Structure 1
């Protein structure tokens, strides 16, 4: 580039600094969003996979119906290690319990993981923070993230009830339980589990030595499955399922044990991996949308800039400048703008990515080894930041640089034929009584259709995302509110073994503040596959991916049953041998099953055949199978019993709930019924509220970023309009127009554009809300979210759009009001 061209570029940069600054901001903001998401996505994927796999998680867990002693478990583990495809195996157990801290009752349940003192901890590992495995016989390690939830510290004494039969989440086996007092000696970091605050329960880790003098029963055979010729765990759930099923059949045949279920969670995936994936996919979509909008905006701004310079291009060509030299000069100017935007966006992208990673890993309960994103992410951000503006500049740049001298001289910046809208509005101007200034502003709004579409489109896109995001939040709130409204009880008590409802009610009768008690049965189950082995996707926490059979008396009022049947029918009173599946159970276990089909379930250690009479739709619930009380009793071969109690209290305060929970637990325990956990309904509400909140915040952040880009687009459009109409404003001043009248006309144009964008956004906002609600609801609940349009969001956006338009056009209006007749005549 020659010295004269360099001087030309420097002068153009100074003369158009405000417009170029807007371009830099528009590119930088969208690049920040895109780059931050990219950094976050790469870092979260790396850290999540590394942390989860550092625990050497089991590919499958074979859950026995009854616990076995250490000798039998050792034989089962040896047999498992001989199975082709199994490279490691170990025997474990775990149980849920109420607990006390320093003899003070806590309404939070604790999940205790148990291993033998000589367990080498080569698989299904966890990491003590100070000590080593095993703890002393009188010690317990607690999950690091559970201390605050459990309001305890190292050195406190924890009291738990150890069931005699090992792990019994469903209470199918009678177990008197043994009370054990243990000192909190250390904390444990376990990245294979979801965070305790989200699940509203503590986690404890002990060795079998803690139950001194009593035999400990093991009921889990954990195995790692690899592909033939490989050393890494298999990434195929189908392969892990095949090996675990084959091994289960062999264990039942050779050792006489009964397999309750085979748990095969998705390989290499944290229990809350779907949350992080959903957030990142939403962010990537939003970042791409913001980048696309800014790209369109930059292309339009460059086109306006080059159009403004057409007379100068004609003069340069007249004195000998070639199209190539002119094109290179403008290309340098675009490169300067792109470089400035990239320099601004690069550190901001790293910071946004850092914050995103911190929040997502906290949601996953994972501690990062490093927050630094991979080097390649910076290279991608730089390539996009520099390459995209150059790419979008090519079309307007080539068109401007190739213009002929004659065409440049003839260029006047206007259109030769008025549009239909402009002609119609000009006709309105002849009607008496209408404000001439507002009519002129309205006519000027439609004067350049391409700019009108761009400005309205940018603002409408931001409004669509904002309203859809807020409406999605309303849909999520509706699910939480519906779930909370369905929880009409105050205290829920999970029994360690089934009991007679009459006996439980008589034991609770002396407890004050209880107005009503209902009992129901809730048993974990597995759906048998083609080989008859019951399979689930259950994770080691025994919650995520599990399937439960729920039964309640026909007159129950505190168990909310599904209201929407999407196939078949609901259960008839007293019906046996029939079940209704919710859509989550069907989708996760038997995608092809329908009403009228027969399935096999493992219930209480027995394989039973059931006819599916209906498929129900539920949101806010996990996998579920519904039957009648009589149906479950017939399957178990026992009289009707309950293992879950729900209690309504006279006052619904948290203090009353805690008091009743403690008193009811004590009364049942003293009466010989072991309580696994008792908790206030607020715990269930807090657990459901912690799973979807971050998603809404992410969508709102995207909407804000797009709103900023839209405001910049409006400011750019108005600035370009003022430049094109320099002579027009000069004429207006010459015939006596006051500066305030000119400012009023220009600001009114911006407000008209904002109102037009709100009208344009109305229907697409409804569509996007339905699309997001359907997609995210299906992802989270296998059912669409309730369709809700947030009226506050609509009002807020209309107000913000109008105020933003007024502010965005203020600078252009001020400039227009100061244009003199001399400047207008001197304008090229």
Structure 2
């Protein structure tokens, strides 16, 4: 019977003090939610991308060659080093998306859509396989081209021939780069349709899976070299060889910065929530001191009281777990689905992950109990007299510390502000925990804002990297002077420059070959590049065998540094080049620069010819770039030139910006979660302050204080705490933002972002901190201001 009143007290304390119960439960649940949402998202994305990637039977290597038939494919399949191989044809076409507006499209024809052995493409909607004279569109490309299934689209072949193709359905091609990243659509047709389009049924791309050691990149590169030689021995030309990182989806490089930031923010959320829980439980137990004294006076012993309050905290924790775990699962599902949609794969894992669930239970149950252990122990060992004479919990004094003395020296402010300032530092331990929570939240927000600004700064630098406004690429080299004369005759064109272009491979010391490398050959005195050097120098007019490579090249060829000599195979000629510089690049893939005179000296057939024309125009606006680009295309096609691609600087910048924006949006979603925990921490601290000072409020009301005056005192107190946390958060945000910026840049671009710490981010968080503080403080302060004098003087 003795135990029944004991547990009834626990249940009544929980039920009768609903506001306090809600505050404690939400404080714990906030941490449980943040841990669940962030950590589960991290696990789900890493696991599901790897899992769905493996189901496609990803290629060990991809080889581009001149047209070949099924006999060669069978020969490759028969090689003992090859487990399986497949072939398809790819070509670059353009699709009409509006009046005089065209978009690039990669058009593929697969050997057999019902027997795709490598790099599987799956049916998503409508017909399968693609009917003759119709097209299937990759599901993420549909929005890009602004069409629907059943619509007919107009495509333009490289030779200028145009055909109407009805969209018969959608496909799902995991390994195809998402259209919203690249700005290039993807379509799939039958080999019969290829013939109707005026092409042969031959293939141009070979994919294979290595028979052994399919996770060993060096082994795969050796196998790829054997396959390449087999193709060349058949009389075909191999244009490029690409060996992707084994077992790793190409989008993993873009995903890693997200996972990195998720990991950092999850630890911050865990730390913040821990302080929040400690703060709340300390205040809760402080309010129970008088009740402890009464129970002791009627015979309760410290051990019994200790168990009572541990059980109360455990019940709070269970309620919080019941709220935080489902909400965390929903958050994880939403965040992971958003990120997966960007990369173009489906989430299959449960949002409730066992490891995360265990972490949530540990945090939601053990952290509150651990946080409460010493306060409970101190509370239940207090003697009866001290406990009974405690008023409304712990009484915090003012004037005993240096901080109190400093605030006491402030003169000339209204009494309302002075009272608020003094009240804010009375509960110093609670203030410290609240400031730590808010500081971490503010630092996270300002850090993410700095990453955004650094990314945009890097993007601006990338746009300025080349001074051209329009780049025209041709399907084969043409005479430089003719290309330039035609361009200069187009209204709006101010200056032009022709470049050589080819594709090369690095021959390593062990005779293995790198993936394909784009090689640009600008004039020695080019005016169209403003190189962003990471190390070394730019090309000089007298450089004969010098090369400048980009950061993506160095990432793939990790042994290469400035001063090294490397061997490049260009147009079947192997020559040694000295690496004189490394330049920054933004999601461009590996490329290199050599001087055009040297390029032309050994590529005799291309001497005096160019495959790329860089164009600078008078009016730099995006509209003018589009208009002049269309005029250039019409001029060249009218003169009989095969134009393979025209891209304006505005278009390239938009697509790069889209990729950065996706990352930034995701970062801000994480920062909002962390800021939400911060706001809850302040709300909890202010609620406890209001509860503990309820009798003081009554005294103020009794001597004539108005509702507005009482409300203003607490609002000023909350805003003061918010501003103080903003100041400390601003200091902490500087190193945090630099670390985040460098790590995101290294993961995404292979080089740190161009770091900036923008003052507008600090100002924005100041505004946010003041608003959060005002909102978090308003509700408890509003309730307190509306209590009658009788109610507050009777409060215990």
- Say whether the fold is shared (TM-score over 0.5): yes
Contact between 1:62 and 1:262, CA under 8 Å: does it hold in 2? yes
Contact between 1:107 and 1:680, CA under 8 Å: does it hold in 2? no
Could you tell me how far apart the structure 2 residues matched to 1:45 and 1:817 are? Answer: 51
* Structure 1 alignment gaps of length 5 or more: 163-176, 229-233, 537-545
Could you tell me how far apart the structure 1 residues matched to 2:413 and 2:100 are? Answer: 76
Partner of 2:537: 569
Q: How many aligned residue pairs are there? A: 785
Partner of 1:231: none
Partner of 1:171: none
Could you tell me how far apart the structure 2 residues matched to 1:729 and 1:770 are? Answer: 46
Partner of 1:687: 655
Q: 1:805 aligns with which of 767, 773, 780?
A: 773
Could you tell me how far apart the structure 1 residues matched to 2:405 and 2:162 are? Answer: 88
Q: 2:553 aligns with which of 575, 578, 585?
A: 585
Q: 2:84 aligns with which of 82, 88, 110?
A: 88
Call closer, same or farther: CA 1:751–1:513 in 2, change over 3 Å.
closer
Which secondary structure does the structure 1 equivalent of 2:78 belong to? helix
Partner of 2:220: 240
Deviation digits for residues 376-417 of structure 1 (CA, Å, limit 9, x no counterpart): 478447625445434433343344344454664686634698
Call closer, same or farther: CA 1:513–1:32 in 2, change over 3 Å.
same
TM-aligned CA deviation for residue 535 of structure 1: 1.4
Deviation digits for residues 178-210 of structure 1 (CA, Å, limit 9, x no counterpart): 847463353322111122232111223234442
Give TM-score, length-normalised by structure 2: 0.88
Could you tell me how far apart the structure 2 residues matched to 1:504 and 1:9 are? Answer: 87
Partner of 1:503: 482
1:612 paired with 2:596, answer no
Could you tell me how far apart the structure 2 residues matched to 1:819 and 1:189 are? Answer: 62
Partner of 2:37: 36
Could you tell me how far apart the structure 2 residues matched to 1:151 and 1:810 are? Answer: 48
Could you tell me how far apart the structure 1 residues matched to 2:631 and 2:414 are? Answer: 76
Which secondary structure does the structure 2 equivalent of 1:570 belong to? coil
TM-aligned CA deviation for residue 117 of structure 1: 5.5
Contact between 1:110 and 1:201, CA under 8 Å: does it hold in 2? yes
Deviates more, 1:191-200 or 1:351-360: 351-360
Call closer, same or farther: CA 1:263–1:720 in 2, change over 3 Å.
same
Alignment of 1:205-354 (within 5 A): 205-209=188-192, 210-211=194-195, 215=200, 218-227=203-212, 234-248=214-228, 255=234, 259-354=238-333
Alignment of 1:527-546 (within 5 A): 527-536=506-515
TM-aligned CA deviation for residue 725 of structure 1: 4.7
Could you tell me how far apart the structure 2 residues matched to 1:379 and 1:806 are? Answer: 34
Contact between 2:84 and 2:211, CA under 8 Å: does it hold in 1? no
Q: 1:359 aligns with which of 338, 352, 371?
A: 338
Partner of 2:592: 625
Call closer, same or farther: CA 1:387–1:825 in 2, change over 3 Å.
same
Partner of 1:173: none
Could you tell me how far apart the structure 2 residues matched to 1:279 and 1:580 are? Answer: 30
Call closer, same or farther: CA 1:394–1:548 in 2, change over 3 Å.
farther
Partner of 2:144: 149
TM-aligned CA deviation for residue 139 of structure 1: 4.0
Deviation digits for residues 754-810 of structure 1 (CA, Å, limit 9, x no counterpart): 222122122112222212111111211122222333333322322332243334334
Call closer, same or farther: CA 1:505–1:715 in 2, change over 3 Å.
closer
Partner of 1:550: 520
Which secondary structure does the structure 2 equivalent of 1:535 belong to? coil
Give TM-score, length-normalised by structure 1: 0.85
Deviation digits for residues 408-445 of structure 1 (CA, Å, limit 9, x no counterpart): 4686634698112223434x26x6x5545534433333
Could you tell me how far apart the structure 1 residues matched to 2:399 and 2:146 are? Answer: 76
Deviates more, 1:33-42 or 1:765-774: 33-42
TM-aligned CA deviation for residue 586 of structure 1: 1.0
1:74 paired with 2:75, answer no
Which secondary structure does the structure 1 equivalent of 2:563 belong to? coil
Partner of 1:678: 646
TM-aligned CA deviation for residue 821 of structure 1: 8.3
Contact between 1:711 and 1:804, CA under 8 Å: does it hold in 2? yes
Q: 1:461 aligns with which of 425, 428, 440?
A: 440
TM-aligned CA deviation for residue 260 of structure 1: 4.4
Could you tell me how far apart the structure 1 residues matched to 2:432 and 2:185 are? Answer: 56
Could you tell me how far apart the structure 1 residues matched to 2:501 and 2:371 are? Answer: 61
Contact between 1:495 and 1:674, CA under 8 Å: does it hold in 2? yes
TM-aligned CA deviation for residue 690 of structure 1: 1.8
Which secondary structure does the structure 1 equivalent of 2:141 belong to? helix
Q: 1:594 aligns with which of 552, 561, 586?
A: 561
TM-aligned CA deviation for residue 35 of structure 1: 2.1
Could you tell me how far apart the structure 2 residues matched to 1:327 and 1:127 are? Answer: 62
Which secondary structure does the structure 2 equivalent of 1:580 belong to? strand
Could you tell me how far apart the structure 1 residues matched to 2:167 and 2:783 are? Answer: 72
1:785 paired with 2:753, answer yes
TM-aligned CA deviation for residue 615 of structure 1: 2.4
1:204 paired with 2:204, answer no
1:97 paired with 2:81, answer no
Which secondary structure does the structure 2 equivalent of 1:342 belong to? helix
Deviation digits for residues 83-108 of structure 1 (CA, Å, limit 9, x no counterpart): 33x21023334232345589x75431
Which secondary structure does the structure 1 equivalent of 2:743 belong to? helix
Partner of 2:395: 413
Contact between 1:515 and 1:648, CA under 8 Å: does it hold in 2? yes
Deviates more, 1:41-50 or 1:488-497: 41-50
Contact between 1:273 and 1:364, CA under 8 Å: does it hold in 2? no
Contact between 1:92 and 1:219, CA under 8 Å: does it hold in 2? yes
TM-aligned CA deviation for residue 612 of structure 1: 0.8
Deviates more, 1:608-617 or 1:241-250: 241-250
Partner of 1:23: 24
Could you tell me how far apart the structure 2 residues matched to 1:288 and 1:40 are? Answer: 14
TM-aligned CA deviation for residue 470 of structure 1: 2.0
TM-aligned CA deviation for residue 461 of structure 1: 1.8
TM-aligned CA deviation for residue 573 of structure 1: 0.9
Contact between 1:142 and 1:184, CA under 8 Å: does it hold in 2? no
Call closer, same or farther: CA 1:475–1:178 in 2, change over 3 Å.
closer
Could you tell me how far apart the structure 2 residues matched to 1:157 and 1:745 are? Answer: 67
Alignment of 1:625-704 (within 5 A): 625-637=592-604, 638-649=606-617, 651-652=619-620, 656-704=624-672
Contact between 1:98 and 1:678, CA under 8 Å: does it hold in 2? no
Call closer, same or farther: CA 1:712–1:47 in 2, change over 3 Å.
closer
TM-aligned CA deviation for residue 302 of structure 1: 0.7
Could you tell me how far apart the structure 1 residues matched to 2:712 and 2:183 are? Answer: 58
Root-mean-square deviation (Å): 3.5
Could you tell me how far apart the structure 2 residues matched to 1:692 and 1:392 are? Answer: 41
Could you tell me how far apart the structure 1 residues matched to 2:481 and 2:593 are? Answer: 23
1:757 paired with 2:742, answer no
Deviation digits for residues 233-260 of structure 1 (CA, Å, limit 9, x no counterpart): x3343442343234445665x5566654
Which secondary structure does the structure 1 equivalent of 2:215 belong to? coil
Contact between 2:679 and 2:773, CA under 8 Å: does it hold in 1? yes
Could you tell me how far apart the structure 2 residues matched to 1:150 and 1:716 are? Answer: 50
Contact between 1:27 and 1:338, CA under 8 Å: does it hold in 2? yes
Partner of 2:49: 48
Deviates more, 1:713-722 or 1:372-381: 372-381
1:560 paired with 2:529, answer yes
